[in-house]
Structure 1
Amino acid sequence: MSGWTIIGAGGFIGGRLAQALRDRGEAVYAPARGDPALFERDLGRVFYCAGLTGDFAVRPFDTVEAHVTLLAQVLSQARFDRLIYLSSTRLYDSLGAAGGREDDILAFDPAAPRNVYDLSKALGENLTLARSGGRGAVARLSNVFDLAPGASGFLPELLQKARRSREITLDSVPGAVRDYVHADDVIAALLAMGESQTPGVVNVASGQNVSNADLAQVFGAAGWTLNLTPDRPMPAAPHCAIDRLQALGIAPQDPRQLIAEALAAPGFFLG
């Protein structure tokens, strides 16, 4: 195999992945958008990290371009040894509590505008698995977080508020749940997938559904008050299976323990 290629290296995961590979002395090709060399050189092992998240609803055509169109061109025209396509565990959402395993039969309403994200990711998965000549695999990522200074996202921003105030109010109900997985575990999982011949789909998740009520308990034990809105019935959430992830040697960290450690760190609270 000849080196690594990261498509979408300007993003959060792509950038972390590129840095991790370079830190261990690997040759990394991170093509800019429209770089013709993408179809002229040997790409080696490819991580397809390009995609849209928060703004997919207002950029539906860009979402399809990133998740499907460029991928199709890479699969049909580029030279590569292996390709790992980054997808999302949100594809399980419509299955409710019954969802969460990699071999689930997914279900989508094609008329729902928000499903441009889910449908485009699902088509990207299909192309990777069925049109790569057996060289493709899919990593379905759950809610990735990083507690390093300057990180963005729900948990990092919550901790930033906690540095300034002992009482925080969230406009969210106690029963809302998410599967949070730390960025370090994601990078380790992707590298393991890139270095192996693991086929099919792998959930890259912690395997734990953490509710806002769970977070309030963690903050409360550390001396903070986390106020939430009155509870109301919530749709049942999928529970991500992580057997395939564990088979790669990855043991995801408990997000609640990581938050507790951050809150307990000397000098964390600035007042």
Structure 2
Amino acid sequence: MSVTVVGARGFVGARLARRLAAEGAQPWTPAKGDPELLKRDLGVVYYCAGLTADYDRRPFDAVEAHASLVSEILRAGRFDRLIYCSSTRLYDGLPQAEVDEAASLVFDPADPRRVYDLSKALGENLTLARSGGRGVVARLSNVYDGAEGSPGFLSEWLIKAGRSRDLTLESSPHIRRDYIHLDDVVSALIAVAGGSGIYNLSAGALTSNAQIAEAFAAEGWRVGFTGAADPPPPPNASATRLAGLGVRARPVRDVVRSHLRGLGT
């Protein structure tokens, strides 16, 4: 069966395409705007296109990436399976401390910063309701990696650690997030292709900046923070469904310690 990775030049899509190629899948990785995307048989489609850091500055591009293009792929119908990459940020408006994939989502349509959530939610709806049962949604939590150029707060933290053992971070020790390493995301995406419905690609546990800083300190790094804010944590996204497929994200502090020890060799 053929495989297509949409967004293969992005953070997640690039690593996924490399893994699939290493396993002999020879994925097709169309460039943005390639007209063949709507003409050829795509096989299993991993839809990794999206905007994260600059969605607020480029709201119309965010809608195009999160909903419009996947709508066109679904309308063309030339695929066997479609795995749509979404985000656990969709839970941020919920009051519960713990949520799973069955939770109903809440959005404020008047909030301009909700264009990310609303466009992702539309992409999810199209994938689940307009794919003829061939769609799966993967909601990714905070993805990180230590390779140079990797985006995200923890990625940048790990990259800085390769340059200095004395770090000052523009954040607060009290901020809590769920983290999943990029390699674990790739393993999870491959696994959920055989599933159905929605899966949280998460560790299933919130970790504070202070707890991660302790892992750095144990390996000989000094970490300071410029802020002291202590906002309410986001809902903790359950990883139980993902574990049912045999995939479990490695604890973030274990990965951090391993990465730092590698820097010391």
TM range (shorter): over 0.9
Shift of 1:232: 3.6
Alignment partner of 1:257 is 2:244:
no
**CA distance in 1: counterparts of 2:260 and 2:76, whole angstroms:** 49
The one of 230, 235, 238 equivalent to 1:233 is 230
Structure 2 residue matching 1:138: 3-state secondary structure? strand
Counterparts of 1:18 and 1:229, CA distance in 2: 38
Aligned residues: 265
CA contact (8 A) 1:100 1:239 kept: yes
2:228 alignment partner, SS class: coil
Q: Provide structure 1 residue ranges, at least 5 long, that are not aligned to the other structure.
A: none
Give, in whole Å, the separation in 2 of the partners of 1:71 and 1:17. 18
| Pairing of 1:102-113 with structure 2 (within 5 A) | 102-113=101-112
Between stretches 158-167 and 12-21, larger displacement belongs to: 158-167
Distance change in 2, residues 1:266/1:147 (3 Å) = closer
* Residue 169 of structure 1, CA deviation: 1.6
Match status 1:153 vs 2:152: yes
Equivalent of 1:208 in 192, 196, 205 = 205
Is residue 127 from structure 1 mapped to residue 100 from structure 2 by the alignment? no
- Structure 2, unmatched stretches of 5+, are none
* 1:7 corresponding residue in structure 2: 6
Q: Partners in 1 of 2:242 and 2:127 — Cα distance?
A: 19
Distance in 1 between residues matched to 2:199 and 2:226, nearest whole Å: 35
Q: How well do the aligned residues superpose, as a CA RMSD in angstroms?
A: 1.6
Change (3 A) 1:265 1:29: closer
- Structure 1: how far apart are the matches of 2:95 and 2:211? 20
Judge conservation of contact 1:88–1:140 (CA < 8 Å) in 2: yes
Q: Find the residue that maps to 1:265 and give its secondary structure.
A: helix
Alignment of 1:27-106 (within 5 A): 27-106=26-105
TM-score computed with the length of structure 1 as normaliser: 0.92
Q: Are 1:43 and 1:78, in contact at CA under 8 Å, matched by a contact in 2?
A: no
Mean Cα deviation higher: 23-32 or 236-245: 23-32
Of 221, 224, 230, the residue aligned with 1:224 is: 221
Q: In 1, are the aligned partners of 2:175 and 2:229 still within 8 Å (CA)?
A: no
* Contact preservation (8 Å) 1:176, 1:211: yes
Contact 2:141–2:180 (8 Å) recurs in 1: yes
Percent identity between the two aligned chains: 52
Provide the rounded CA distance (Å) in 1 between the counterparts of 2:102 and 2:54.
28
Is 1:199 aligned to 2:196, yes or no? Answer: yes
Q: Structure 1 counterpart of 2:212, which letter?
A: L
